[in-house]
Structure 1
Amino acid sequence: MTELDRAKLLAARYRAAVDRPYLASALYALTIVPSGRVPTMGVDRHWRCHVSPAFVEATPVPELAGVWIHEVAHLLRDHHGRAGRLAAELQRDHLRINIAQDCEINDDLLADGLALPAGRVAPGDFGLKAGLLFEEYLPHLPEYLIEFDCGSGAHGHSCDWEIGDGVPAVSPVEAEALRRHTAEAMRAHERSRGRLPAGWQRWAEQVLEPVVDWRTVLAGAVREAVAWAGGAVDYTYRRPSRRTAALRGVVLPSLRRPLPRVAIVIDTSGSMGEDDLAAALAEVTGVLREVGVRGNRVTVLACDADVHTVSRVTSAEQVELAGGGGTDMRVGVRAALAAPDRPHVVIVLTDGYTPWPEENPSCRLIGALIGHAPPAPPHWVETVRIGDRSAGGR
C-alpha cells in the first residue's frame, strides 16, 4: 500500500477549515484512518474518515479540501440516520441512496465555488433541479448507476473497509453537539460575512429551529382541548339521577359529560390559494378524526372579511370555499362563538395576514398557519405552523 501523504491531507483539511471556518469544528472532529481498501475517502457513522493513500497522492489539494467538506456534510446532515428512516424497499440499494445524498450535498458545494474531483455527481446530471433533499432525488434516479461509496456515515450500511478497533469515535451525543455548534457558527458567519449556500442555510435553520411535524402538534393541542372539554360535567334533568327513587317527591339531576365541538374558520381571502386550502383542510379534518372528533361535531366557516358559508361537514370535499376579498379572521371567530352550539375548540386555518381578536376568547383557539414564515399571532393563540408542504428542511 502507498504510504499516506499525511501532510498533504492535513493541508487540504486546513484549507477547508480556513475557507469555511464554520465547518472547522466538524472537520477537526474527524479521525483519519488510512486504508488501501477504500476507493477514495469515506466516513463511518462514528466520524472516522477512511482515506485511500493513492487517492490523496493523485488529487490536488483544492479538490481534497472539497472532498473533506463533502464527507463531513454527510455526517452533519445525519444522512445515515435519515437513510435508516426510509421505507424498507428503498433501503436495499444503499449505493443509489449514496448518489442521491451526493446530489443533495454537491449542488451546495458547487454553488459555493468548491473544487471537486472529476466524476462527482450533481442533480443536473440526471435532469433534476438543485436544492432538494436526497429523499426527493432518490425515486427519480435510474436503477443502474456507477458505484459511489462514502461509507456508513452516508448510507448507513457498514463497509468492509471500515475498522473501529482502538480508533477514537464520536458518540451520538457529541455528534448532535457538533451539529448544533456548526449551525450556530453558520448563523454567525451569515450575520458578519454574507450569505451561505441555500442548502446550508436551510440545514442550519432546521438544527437551531427544528421543524416539528405539525400534524403531531395539532393532534396534541386538539386532543388536550377535547379532553378538557370532554371532562367538563354539568347537571341535567333529562335523565334523572338513580338516587331519585330513594327520595320520594324529589327529582335529582344526573351528571352529563358533553361531547366536544370544533369549529374550523378557513381564511378564503385573496392571498390564499384554493388548492393549498383544500389540501390543508383535508389534513386538518384527518387529524380531527384521529383524535376522535367526527364530522357531525365539526363546523366549517369560510371567511375573508365576512363569513360566507357555515356548514357541518363529514369530509373536506363538502366544504365550499367562498370568498376572495379582504381578510379579518376575527369575524369568523366571533361567528363561531355566537353559534347555538358553541364550540369548545376553534381552529383558524390562515396564512397569518389577518387581525386577531383583542383578547383570548373563552375557548381553545388554535392558529394553523399556512405558508412560509407567516406573521405570528398574539401570544395567547396556540400556534401550529403547517408551512410549505412542497418543501422540506435540510
Structure 2
Amino acid sequence: MTADRAHAYEEAVRARVAAARLWAAHRAPYLASAVFALNPVILEPALDEDTGAPVADPGFRAFPADTRWNLYVEPGTALATPVEEIGWWMLHQVGHLVRGHAARSPVRPEPGHEVSHAAGAARDEEAHRWNQAADAEINDDLEAEELRGPAGVLSPAELGLPAHRTAEEYVPMLDVLASAMGRGGRALAEAIDCGSAVDGQERTYEDGGPGEGLTRLDRDLLERSIAAGIQDRVSARGELPSGWRRWAEERLRPSVNWRARLGAVIRSGLSTVAGQVDFSYRRPSRRAGAYAGIVPPSMVRAVPDTVLVIDTSGSVTNDVLNRLLAEVTGIIDGVAGPGRRLRAFCCDVHPHPVQLVRRASDIELVGGGGTDLRAGIAAAMALRPRPDLVVVLTDGETPWPEQRPPAQVVVCLIGDGGHAPGWASVARIPSKGES
C-alpha cells in the first residue's frame, strides 16, 4: 500500500471515529465528557492481498479499551462498521471504564504472581464469563436509553435475567444459564472481547502503543465530574438509567479512611474503659499526711485489658487477617503502652485455646469450617480477669449474641458483606485493594 493510500485510509477511520463520538455524546449527554476523553489508537491494518484494502478483524468488533482510556481501533473493522454502532461501543467501553470493571475483575493479575499454563484455560473461561457479566451490567442501562446493542451482544432482557444488577450478581446467573443452554446445544452469546478495560489483563496489541491515555489523577477527576453531572441531571428531574444514578451516588459518597475509622473506634473503646477511675492502695495518696495514722488510697486510671477474637472460619484469608492484626495491635500499643500482653482467641464454630502474645506476628491462626462467634465472645467473657474490651475480626457471616456482653466490643467488619450487632462499635475494613 502506498503512503498516500495508507494516509487516506487513516483519515477515513479518524473521520468515522469523530462522527461516532458526536453521535454517542448526543445520545447520552451525561457521558459526553467521558466519550471525548477516550483516546483512539489506530492499529496496523490487515490488508487484502488482492485489493490492498484493510480487512475487518472480528476480534476488534467491540473496539476494545484499556484502563488508561485508550480505545483500540482496527481500521478494517472501523471502515466496515456503521457510525452509530461505533458510537454504541464507545458508550459501552465508557461503562466498563467508569464503573471500574478491571479493578473489580476476579482474574485481574496480582503483582508478582504468575499464572501457570495449566490454569490458563480455566482463567480464560472465568475472564470470558466476567466480560459477559460486566456487559450485562452496562447493556442493561444502554437499553433503558433505547440504545439496542449490535447483533450477538448479551442482553439481560432478552435472556430473561433480572434488571439493574451488578456484574458480580450476573456471574452466577450466567453460569446457570450457560449450563442449561449448553445441554441444548446452544451458546449463551457470542464471544466478544472488550479488552483490559473489563478484566485488567493486558492484551498484546497494547504493547508499545502510541497512546499515553489518562493518568490516575485524570481518571479520578473525570469520574467525579461525570458523577456530579449525573447528580445535577437527577436534581433537575432528568430521566437517567438506574445503574448510572446508583454509580454516581456511590462515587460521590464521602469516603472514610478505614485506618482512621478503625483507630478512632478502638481508641474510643479503650478510652471509655481507661476513663473509669478507681481507688487503689498500691500507691498511697499524696494527702496521706493529712490523715492521722490512716493511709488513704489514691485514685488510679484503669489500664484496659483487651482480648482479640479472630474469625478463622476460612471465608477470610490469612493475609487479610495478618494485615488487620498488625493494625489493631499497633493501635492498642499506642493507647495502652507498647509490649503489653494480649489474649487472643481464634474461632470458627468453637473457640480454640487462648493465646497470650505481645505482637500480632506471634498469633497462630488456626481453624476452618463454619462460623459462630457467639462461642468466641462467650469464651472471652469467661476469662479471668474478664476483659474490658473485646476486638472482633470477622467478615460478619456469623450469628451474634442477642444481648450486649459485659464489656466494650469493637467489630472490625472485613469486606462489603456481613453484618454486626447494633450494640457493637463497627469499623468497616476493605478485604483487598488498599494494603
Do both share a fold (TM > 0.5)? yes
1:316 aligns with 2:324: no
TM-score (norm 1): 0.60
Measured in 1, the distance between the counterparts of 2:253 and 2:107 equals 21
Q: Which of 13, 16, 25 is residue 8 of structure 1 equivalent to?
A: 16
Q: Which of 172, 178, 203 is residue 216 of structure 2 equivalent to?
A: 172
SS of aligned partner of 1:42 = coil
Q: Which residue number corresponds to residue 209 of structure 1?
A: 253
SS of aligned partner of 1:49 = strand
Measured in 2, the distance between the counterparts of 1:181 and 1:83 equals 24
Measured in 1, the distance between the counterparts of 2:95 and 2:277 equals 59
SS of aligned partner of 1:175 = helix
1:227 aligns with 2:270: yes
Measured in 2, the distance between the counterparts of 1:80 and 1:122 equals 20
Instruction: Report deviation, 1:191.
Output: 3.1
Measured in 1, the distance between the counterparts of 2:270 and 2:199 equals 43
Q: Which of 209, 221, 241 is residue 282 of structure 2 equivalent to?
A: 241
Q: 1:286 to 1:206 in 2, by over 3 A?
A: farther
Instruction: Report deviation, 1:172.
Output: 1.1
TM-score (norm 2): 0.55
Structure 1, residues 33-75: CA drift from partner, whole Å, max 9, x if none? 1234652110011110012223323332222221110011111
1:128 aligns with 2:161: yes
Q: Which residue number corresponds to residue 309 of structure 1?
A: none
Measured in 1, the distance between the counterparts of 2:85 and 2:215 equals 29
Measured in 2, the distance between the counterparts of 1:34 and 1:346 equals 55
Measured in 1, the distance between the counterparts of 2:270 and 2:85 equals 59
The alignment-based identity, stated in percent, is 32
Q: Which residue number corresponds to residue 136 of structure 2?
A: 103
Q: Which residues of 2 match residues 18-97 of structure 1 at below 5 A? A: 18-35=26-43, 36=45, 38-40=59-61, 41-83=63-105, 93-97=126-130
Measured in 2, the distance between the counterparts of 1:162 and 1:346 equals 47
Number of matched pairs: 291
Measured in 1, the distance between the counterparts of 2:106 and 2:168 equals 11
Measured in 2, the distance between the counterparts of 1:199 and 1:208 equals 14
Q: 1:8 to 1:85 in 2, by over 3 A?
A: closer
CA RMSD in angstroms comes to 4.5
Structure 2 runs not aligned, ≥5 long: 46-56, 111-118, 180-187, 307-371, 389-397, 412-419, 429-435
User: Which has the higher mean CA deviation after the structures are superposed, 196-205 or 61-70?
Assistant: 61-70
Q: Tell whether the 8 Å contact from 2:16 to 2:83 is kept in structure 1 after alignment.
A: yes
SS of aligned partner of 1:255 = strand
The amino acid that maps onto 2:42 is: P
Measured in 1, the distance between the counterparts of 2:108 and 2:15 equals 39
Measured in 1, the distance between the counterparts of 2:91 and 2:222 equals 14
Measured in 2, the distance between the counterparts of 1:205 and 1:66 equals 24
The amino acid that maps onto 2:163 is: A
Q: Which residue number corresponds to residue 352 of structure 1?
A: none
The amino acid that maps onto 1:110 is: E
